[in-house]
Amino acid sequence: MRQLLKVLLSFLISSVIVFSANSANSANSANSDIIQSPINFVTMDDEIHREPWLSYLKLLEYKKSALAMSESDALWWLLRKAETEHLLYFKDDFAKTVQQAQSKVTEQTPEEIASKLNVFSGMLATINGDYAISINFFNKALSQAKSAGLNIIYIMGKQELAYSRSLTESYDTSLIELQGAYVEAFALEDTFLLATINETYGAIYGYMGEYEQSVEYYKKALDIYEQLGYQYHIAEAIFGLASTYRYWKKYELATAQFELYDKKISYTPNKDLSFYAAYGLGMTLAEKGDCLKAIEVIDSALKLNGMVDYNGELLKRKTVCLITLGQLIEAEKQLEKVKEIFGGFPELDGPTWKLEIIKIESELEHAKGNERAAYLLAKDYYQKYTKSTARFDRVRTAMEIERKDVEISLLQQKAEVQLLQVEQQNQRNILQRYIIFFVVFLILVVLVLLFVQNNYTRKIYALSIKDPLSNLYNRRYIFDYLDKLLARQVDKKSELSVMMVDIDDFKELNNKYGHPFGDYVIEKIGEIGQAILRNDDVMARIGGEEYLCVLPRIEAQQCLLIAQRFLKNVNQYKFTTENGMTLSITVSIGITSLSGAPLDGPTLYTQADEALYHSKQQGKNQVTVYHEITDS
């Protein structure tokens, strides 16, 4: 209570100070000659994303009056101008505007402006290949946004940081950071942020060779962008989709998407943007083996104002084509240009796109007849490449771990946001209505804060959605999750399966080997189950020795295969007692799936439970599909 009173007094004093400052500012504003902007730059987000070119023209109308604006309005104007220049691919103007805005930032600059400018500076450094500098900018923006409670900018910075790390093939780090961003965006229920994170997932999975997942994430992002009508992001997602098809060697699909991208970028007057369409087509033709046409497209792309590292990739493909065509002298000249370009990017010393230079040089020496030199270069390439792929394998393993704490993070963040909103509302009420009635106000604030504290305690208690023994989700969470999932199943053809798992003869195990051994069995079977489930699948412990698994987008036959693998893995595992004795333990499983007719959670649970009961009746250690019982 003493701590609560200290907080109240501090809060009251700060409120009085704010009230006094606001009164002074109101008096000063009557005599101020500073021009206020007739439009609100702060609320232009959606307008800028939908119509970046029209928004840019509107912003340029205030260029002359920007010098007479207040410091805050001038910075907001520069920030919005930079944002539209980025969306329109006005790269040089974007860099100049960000630099101009950064020069005006002071300690009094609002954190929202300062942090977002640091995100833009990080993006510029990434574009220029200065990845170490970009990471520093993003970390600075994250620190500012976090301290100021700017959740959207914080998530944007974390997403851009993950993308920058992925360009240097730090996939393990980037995926961890991106997962954190996903959790926070999910907490805010911001579909646009989720779409941008899905787009980044698509890029990272594409770089790692997980093409099917990459395409899936890009399509998710593209669907939301098209619903929002955000032209820049639509074009970017299409370009990413085309690039993934190129990596996947689906050249016809890649070509179609690059041509579609070339149409989608017509929203901006920047003609240099056609470089990226030409880049994609040139790379696709070269990898397809159509070298004569590829060289023609690559040469046209190199004449445009493209990014330096992209030019390096084009020159690599051109070099390979020249070797294929037997033009070895010209190929050697192009390879020297490639080395010069990538020599300027020390951060790219290890990744595969720079290692590829060694491979191309080996192919050139082979074509020239220098077999020993070709052999030594090839050996160097494969040794370095093997080390790189070993790291990829670790990343792929890490990617299989489920996002266990997504819902916990969601509820925690919502609780914090709601508490902050209540406190802010109390501040406004205090400033507007109760400043005169000091004593009455103090009593009311004590009562309000006690009420908020009581509500907060109840909400923290409600966050207990994990089973402490198995570290799985608990019964309340899994049934709530199933109900929400079914509520979103608008398509009758949607697939979903539910799997009930029960440990056979568990009471006998407890009685014979003790409860600690029983606890060990419960925890270990939970781990076995999680190891075979996908990222989107959810597993929970709903009773003493019972588990419930919810598998979205899985029909009965696929679920049966997963259940059989579950059964097999449990059978093969050797459980060890405290005395060192090894035991084999079995489980019985019942599964059910949506069969076209809409079903609710309790019905699916009942069906899975009946199937489980049938497995027990038939001798245990087996899987039963509910619809097979009803059909028979």
Domain boundaries, the chain: 190-268, 270-403, 475-631
Could you give the 3-state DSSP secondary structure of residue 104?
helix
**The predicted structure's pLDDT at residue 19:** 40
Tell me the residue length of the chain: 632
Could you give the 3-state DSSP secondary structure of residue 501?
strand
Q: 475-631 has which fold? A: Alpha-Beta Plaits (3.30.70)
DSSP symbols for 321-348? HHHHTT-HHHHHHHHHHHHHHHHT-GGG
Could you give the 3-state DSSP secondary structure of residue 189?
coil
CA 387/CA 389 separation, integer angstroms: 6
**The predicted structure's pLDDT at residue 546:** 96
DSSP letter for 473, please. Answer: B
Element (H, E) at 528: helix 515-532
The predicted-structure confidence for 72-95, as pLDDT tens digits, reads as follows 888 888 888 898 988 888 888 989
Could you give the 3-state DSSP secondary structure of residue 582?
strand
**The predicted structure's pLDDT at residue 184:** 66
H-only helix segments in 40-170: 45-50, 52-60, 71-87, 91-104, 111-127, 131-148, 151-167
**The predicted structure's pLDDT at residue 582:** 93
Evaluate the CA torsion angle 512, 517, 519, 521 in order and state its sign: negative
For 574, residues 6+ apart whose C-beta sits below 8 A from its C-beta are 582, 583, 584
Both tokens of 265, joined, read 């970028």
For 25, 80, 114, 541, the CA distances from 105, given in Å and listed in that order, are 21, 15, 7, 53
CA 116/CA 145 separation, integer angstroms: 8
DSSP letter for 61, please. Answer: T
Could you give the 3-state DSSP secondary structure of residue 109?
coil
Greatest alpha-carbon span in the chain: 94
For 126, residues 6+ apart whose C-beta sits below 8 A from its C-beta are 134, 160, 163, 164, 167
**The predicted structure's pLDDT at residue 16:** 37
Closest CA to 283 of 248, 246, 252: 246
Both tokens of 177, joined, read 């950071």
For 210, residues 6+ apart whose C-beta sits below 8 A from its C-beta are 396, 399
**The predicted structure's pLDDT at residue 202:** 83
pTM over 0.75: no
**The predicted structure's pLDDT at residue 86:** 87
**The predicted structure's pLDDT at residue 436:** 83
CA 615/CA 629 separation, integer angstroms: 11
Q: 190-268 has which fold? A: 1.25.40
Could you give the 3-state DSSP secondary structure of residue 247?
helix
CA 472/CA 312 separation, integer angstroms: 48
Closest CA to 546 of 529, 558, 533, 559: 529
For 47, 449, 559, the CA distances from 189, given in Å and listed in that order, are 20, 27, 30
Both tokens of 361, joined, read 């040089």
What's the distance, CA 386 to chain centroid? 28
**Angle, in degrees to the nearest 10, between helices 475-487 and 601-617:** 120
For 416, 442, 446, 558, the CA distances from 439, given in Å and listed in that order, are 28, 5, 11, 68
Q: What residue ranges of the chain have pLDDT lower than 70?
A: 1-39, 159, 162-163, 165-188, 344-354, 384-417, 438-439, 457-463, 490-493, 596-597, 632
Q: Does domain 270-403 have CATH number 3.90.1150.10?
A: no
Same fold, 270-403 and 475-631: no
DSSP symbols for 341-370? HHHT-GGGSSSHHHHHHHHHHHHHHHHHT-
